[in-house]
Structure 1
């Protein structure tokens, strides 16, 4: 993507099913688990660069020994910083002459030498890059079965409502965030489950010291999570550890956020993405399973793994933007879906170039649009094949060798035009200097475009704000003096804010929204803007379940083609000599390409949860009233 869109996080959980001595003997190191955790996190680096954290739990230590260790970092390279800290104690032990191959000594004396590991990668949103917001977060207690650690990839739309419920319970939360809300909500019902079992065992005549292990053995994790999550509105994949050794990963009932796992007799591995597990564990795609919507994967203290329902699953609307941009393209399904997105655009592109392949150069904006580019070229080549067959048939055997060779040798002109040259820093103070530097984020390949003759078709995976297009890409492409520049988006027009974990929450930052507003003004329909504002204001105090998405009315006044044309007008730099056209994917083709992941609310405004409608209306009110910040 030519623009940087942040994503809310990646998770990695590991449960070792054998003693450390087993891994020392089989793999030559007791650090097998922590090494796998490092790889899982590094392979998901794309999901978090603002912060990282790791927690380790030891299940079989005696009282008085530290059984839980955590380290979090917001350093420039947080993963490296975290694991430097993790391995620091090992290096120190070696320096002091300890036998680190003695797994019993290691287990009792070194931190992060446990059976359970939870890692997290964080992308901060709205400037809150503080260590307090880095997962895993922890709720500690002297009773291990009440100690809770959580890390997740989630956003809840109704934090205000949930926060108030915590207050009604008599709590005093330390922060107004969905992270604290989730931690305290789960923690409350974990306390209740412990208290319920304590009373029952007490009534049966057990003593206090006998009761703790009974609670740990029989704790009902599914019940805790079912009670805690019943009012959650949002997308989430949340992993948790309980101090005595139970662990879980739960997924929202719409399947918005991804979560996958692999299990054998040695290890259980959970991560946000399937190909990450495939690579780290060297297993096939069909050996990695998906945690189903509304389901929790529970691994008990004794290592037994089960899948249980915590929320009744709704219609699956997994995030399609994951498929287009965030997920690793090495996943076999995602790779084919991205190619299909490009292939389905070919007919529209050919129409835009008036089928003049001879005078067109095809390229892509690095790097995530490369796969869609391959698909686009397959579509163009298929058209060209049909054209060649038609011409040869029309010749009916009368063509000369030269004529036949000219037809057969005709191929699309494919070139690497845009080159990602440098990642600019934001320490430049004045806007004029910053804008000048932004214009040089990309460079171009000179000498492959015939000046004032060729059309340049260049594909990107999505166009959100259009800032980089306007300030950098179109300017440098225009230096090549093409007759026309066609920018193709493999995603449809992004029209509505996301509220489930992707940092796209402010309406006026979407170029499609800006174009729709400008079109209303051009058409003398400013009253529509005022009417939508009044409808949104009229819903401000309604429960989220009763709120309608009236922002759709803004887009109903113009066709998708009109909005695309207006976007091209708005993004074309003043000094750009070439004609500029913007081509977007259609919603219908998006669903053809990604048939199992139908979450399309940023394109259609069809939010899977009631909270989504509340967010989009609030976002529109903020736009009209000039308020900054996200709408949830």
Structure 2
């Protein structure tokens, strides 16, 4: 899961791009990058680390131009080498840069096809570079010097014919403009908006609406499935559906965890969806745990707060903050490698003993993925003096790998894989555990029962992969490529490269 942004402005955009990446930092903490365009010359800065660490004052001064794109990376492939940082660049045709969020399910065959038939070399293990080269090859058919929107959308149609999976992307062509596009199923989010200035309209494309809000852009709408939005350097906006068959099936895990609560995705307010999750989970607790004596509801910060507060109010149980979060520790779930995640939990959270002592506590989290964090948090609650510790998840059990850009590739690393809820409860050390049902989660993510969403992509809960091309062999290979052991090895290898580079 990554964050992307693109801006076509009337004045230098580097500061706005940087501010956007900080707003989208929750979507990726491994690497950050910005590329700007000034009179057809590209200026690129990218490296491992948070946006605030990558972009020094000196580096920002070099990012000149009124047009640019940016990226924050979350490494689904588990490699921390700076070679994987985005945006990527290819010099032919016209010089194209691209930033990408998601995952191509046919990346392996595309990589071979690009080399064999298109004579293009892929230099990294990133499917983002593959996506860039597919688009570049499709645009190669243009035989004139001046590229227009028809050429762009024709090339994008070729991308949709060849690329499968869940993805959103922004691409920039020097002296031409910026393109944003979304996969044919609308799995990964992407929006665009406009800001009026004295010099004329400016446009912004981003992963989440909150980035537009904060920078003073008015949200126009989400990109439709299979749609491209192109803004040329004159500030003219063009849009077109380029995929032959489309279905709006946004990733439901965006509403559970990834997106900021102040974002709106496909006309669904994330904050409201999470509040409804809490209400529906409370009703399940009333039915299934009628005899349980719960003294206090405590959220596991930060993403579960909205659901936990609504849950407590619905149950008529006291809500309180029992954990203090260290704001300088990153999001545990998206950290690469089990050892790093395990080490970070107690550094990130500290229990307030007074809120736990001699109480029956209901801990509420947005979801339970590997169970490592949950187990440590339950233990922390007991050490703080809780009499009983119950655990509630605002999402159903995560039993299946994700193939569309979320780091859940290995089924055996999921705590709910091949286990009942009671077994999971015992494993995390809780006195009782309760999960949201998928039906209730789906209803919670709908707008009063009415939504333009055709269906939600919820394969991590039900194993139903919306793109229809995910086989057992593919999942086995994905697990082999991206399990925690591989991540640990890649992290060490990447660190060696970085260390040698620093010494040089």
Superposed, 1:94-133 pairs within 5 Å as 112-133=63-84
Distance in structure 2 (CA, Å) of the matches to 1:12 and 1:628 = 32
Deviations 1:229-264 (A, max 9, x none): 312111111111112323200100100000011125
1:70: which partner in 2? 44
The answer to whether the 8 Å contact 2:168/2:181 transfers is yes
Distance in structure 1 (CA, Å) of the matches to 2:206 and 2:5 = 4
The answer to whether the 8 Å contact 2:204/2:217 transfers is no
2:361: which partner in 1? 456
2:132: which partner in 1? 183
2:290: which partner in 1? 354
2:30: which partner in 1? 50
Change (3 A) 1:435 1:125: closer
1:241: which partner in 2? 172
Change (3 A) 1:503 1:246: same
Deviations 1:520-561 (A, max 9, x none): xxxxxxxxxxxxxxxxxxxxxxxxxxxxxxxxxxxxxxxxxx
Cα shift at 1:447: 3.4
2:412: which partner in 1? 508
Cα shift at 1:492: 0.6
1:591: which partner in 2? 442
Distance in structure 2 (CA, Å) of the matches to 1:436 and 1:316 = 38
SS of alignment partner, residue 13 of structure 1: strand
The answer to whether the 8 Å contact 1:498/1:504 transfers is yes
Deviations 1:314-364 (A, max 9, x none): 33210110111111111361000000001101122234543566x522111
1:10: which partner in 2? 3
Q: Is 1:295 aligned to 2:202, yes or no?
A: no
Deviations 1:481-525 (A, max 9, x none): 44432100001100111111111111111001052xxxxxxxxxx
Cα shift at 1:462: 0.5
The structure 2 residue matched to 1:321, chosen from 253, 256, 263, is: 253
The answer to whether the 8 Å contact 1:248/1:299 transfers is yes
Deviations 1:58-82 (A, max 9, x none): 3xx4xxxx622111121x4344432
Change (3 A) 1:610 1:628: farther
1:281: which partner in 2? 216
Q: Is 1:369 aligned to 2:304, yes or no?
A: yes
SS of alignment partner, residue 224 of structure 1: helix
1:613: which partner in 2? 471
The answer to whether the 8 Å contact 1:154/1:236 transfers is yes
Cα shift at 1:480: 4.2
* CA RMSD between the two structures: 3.0
Distance in structure 1 (CA, Å) of the matches to 2:95 and 2:406 = 30
Change (3 A) 1:483 1:350: farther
Distance in structure 1 (CA, Å) of the matches to 2:82 and 2:165 = 24
The answer to whether the 8 Å contact 1:52/1:79 transfers is no
Change (3 A) 1:88 1:302: closer
Change (3 A) 1:455 1:227: same
Q: Report the TM-score when normalising by structure 2.
A: 0.84
Deviations 1:45-104 (A, max 9, x none): 11122111111113xx4xxxx622111121x43444325244345xxxxxxxxxxxxxxx
Change (3 A) 1:435 1:507: closer
The structure 2 residue matched to 1:155, chosen from 96, 103, 109, is: 103
Deviations 1:448-470 (A, max 9, x none): 4463xx42111000000111222
Cα shift at 1:380: 1.2
2:428: which partner in 1? 571
The answer to whether the 8 Å contact 2:342/2:372 transfers is no
Which is worse superposed, 582-591 or 78-87? 78-87
The answer to whether the 8 Å contact 2:77/2:126 transfers is no
1:487: which partner in 2? 391
The answer to whether the 8 Å contact 2:342/2:373 transfers is no
What runs of 5+ residues in structure 1 fail to find an aligned partner? 1-7, 21-30, 90-111, 199-211, 382-411, 516-562, 573-578
1:443: which partner in 2? 350
Change (3 A) 1:617 1:269: closer
Change (3 A) 1:349 1:419: farther
Report how many residues are paired: 464
1:385: which partner in 2? none
Change (3 A) 1:457 1:615: farther
The answer to whether the 8 Å contact 2:183/2:225 transfers is yes
The answer to whether the 8 Å contact 1:341/1:593 transfers is yes
Q: Is 1:232 aligned to 2:163, yes or no?
A: yes
Q: Report the TM-score when normalising by structure 1.
A: 0.68
The answer to whether the 8 Å contact 1:274/1:288 transfers is no
1:379: which partner in 2? 314
Cα shift at 1:609: 1.2
Distance in structure 2 (CA, Å) of the matches to 1:69 and 1:610 = 40
Change (3 A) 1:188 1:330: same
Distance in structure 1 (CA, Å) of the matches to 2:43 and 2:252 = 36
Q: Which has the larger radius of gyration?
A: 1
Cα shift at 1:570: 1.9
Cα shift at 1:189: 1.6
SS of alignment partner, residue 310 of structure 2: helix
The structure 1 residue matched to 2:278, chosen from 320, 342, 364, is: 342
The structure 2 residue matched to 1:169, chosen from 95, 117, 122, is: 117
Cα shift at 1:300: 2.5
The structure 2 residue matched to 1:304, chosen from 236, 259, 263, is: 236
SS of alignment partner, residue 315 of structure 1: coil
Deviations 1:98-142 (A, max 9, x none): xxxxxxxxxxxxxx332311111111234412222111111114x
What runs of 5+ residues in structure 2 fail to find an aligned partner? 333-337, 447-452, 488-504
1:546: which partner in 2? none
SS of alignment partner, residue 610 of structure 1: coil
1:473: which partner in 2? 377
Superposed, 1:524-603 pairs within 5 Å as 563-572=420-429, 580-595=431-446, 596=453, 598-603=456-461
